[in-house]
Structure 1
Amino acid sequence: MTSTGPVPLDPSRSYPARPIIAASVAVFRNGRVLLGERVKPPGAGSYSLPGGLVELGETLEEAALRELTEETGVTARITGFNGHVEVLARDNAGRVERHFVVASFIGEWVSGEGVASDETRTIVWANLADLETLPLTPGLKPLLEQAIASRHAGD
């Protein structure tokens, strides 16, 4: 059965009792960064870094690398921490509908070309100019600019 409507947000992630911890990684290869077009809300149709929820007993770095491989088939090594992003959304009554805290890392490509999955419709290796034309998730562009600056700080 094929659905043409939006994919609903996992109900266990709506109206959480506390912030939900997630991790992502900006993987660089030949001056380009790996981005995936999100299939599921929030941000469906926008490009973002591969990432997802941290599982119990898993470090932030382990979660970022696991999610990278699950979503894109790419493997990488972490080279640094890039910061965090908070996704906080309230409903019309002011109640917290979503609250994610995403730890974002910088990584260098090891293997894999990048393939679409059930979470990523398309995969692109984007350069800085592409960031001007791709629909990006909120807050992604400054995070990527920071990652690029951090990578070049040691040059």
Structure 2
Amino acid sequence: MTSDRLYPSRPLLAASVAVIRDGRILLAARGKPPCEGLYSLPGGMVETGESLGEAALRELREEVGVEAELIGMIAPVEFIERDAQGHIKHHVVIAAHAARWVSGEPQTGPEAKDIRWVTERDIVDLPMTAGLSSILEQAFRIARERARP
């Protein structure tokens, strides 16, 4: 984690993606802090000149080797963590997207130490990042609304 991500002077912008395949969403257990070991969506920081959607799809490719097609914006999620003295240790605004799987079998790596395709019922017992269950519910709803005939 670079120094500008710890104790930032301003909120940082990230993008993530809920990839849907055969009624399941791809989740990855975070391989690095913050929230190491918790399941989350593939995603990461938006680079200068990159749209939110481009960042989400790039991070998906880099983290787990999957290609997808965006089908909708879900919602922004804020991750704010304070240290023991009350100082802001992390502040990231994450633009979450829903996408349809196109190709590639997900692979684990440094940023994704475990990968699972989960149904709506599966998410109940998984250790997940804060607010993820609401994002997943919205992604499943978008997928149902935009299902191909």
In the superposition, the TM-score normalised over structure 1's length comes to: 0.90
Matched to 1:137, the amino acid is: T
Q: Indicate the residue corresponding to 2:127 in structure 1.
A: 135
Q: Which one of 16, 21, 24 corresponds to residue 13 of structure 2?
A: 21
Q: Which one of 102, 106, 124 corresponds to residue 116 of structure 2?
A: 124
* Pair 1:82-2:52 in alignment: no
* Pair 1:153-2:145 in alignment: yes
Q: Which one of 19, 36, 39 corresponds to residue 44 of structure 1?
A: 36
Q: How many residues align?
A: 147
Distance 1:69 1:154 in 2: 23
Q: Which moved more, 1:57-66 or 1:90-99?
A: 90-99
Q: Indicate the residue corresponding to 1:67 in structure 2.
A: 59
Gaps of 5+ in 2: none
* Pair 1:112-2:81 in alignment: no
Matched to 1:35, the amino acid is: L
Matched to 2:60, the amino acid is: L
1:154 is displaced (CA, Å) by: 5.0
In the superposition, the TM-score normalised over structure 2's length comes to: 0.94
Distance 2:12 2:99 in 1: 23
Distance 1:147 1:32 in 2: 10
Query: 1:48-106 deviations in whole A, cap 9, x for unaligned?
Result: 10000001111110000000000000000101000010001122222211100000000
Contact 2:47 2:55 in 1 (8 A): yes
Gaps of 5+ in 1: 1-8
Q: Which one of 45, 59, 79 corresponds to residue 53 of structure 1?
A: 45
Distance 1:64 1:142 in 2: 18
SS in 2 for 1:26: strand
Identity %: 48
Distance 1:57 1:10 in 2: 20
> What RMSD in Å do the two structures reach over aligned CA positions?
1.2
Q: Indicate the residue corresponding to 1:6 in structure 2.
A: none
Q: Cα–Cα, structure 1 residues 110 and 154, in superposed 2: closer, same or farther, change >3 Å?
A: closer
Query: 1:93-129 deviations in whole A, cap 9, x for unaligned?
Result: 2221110000000000000110001100111111112
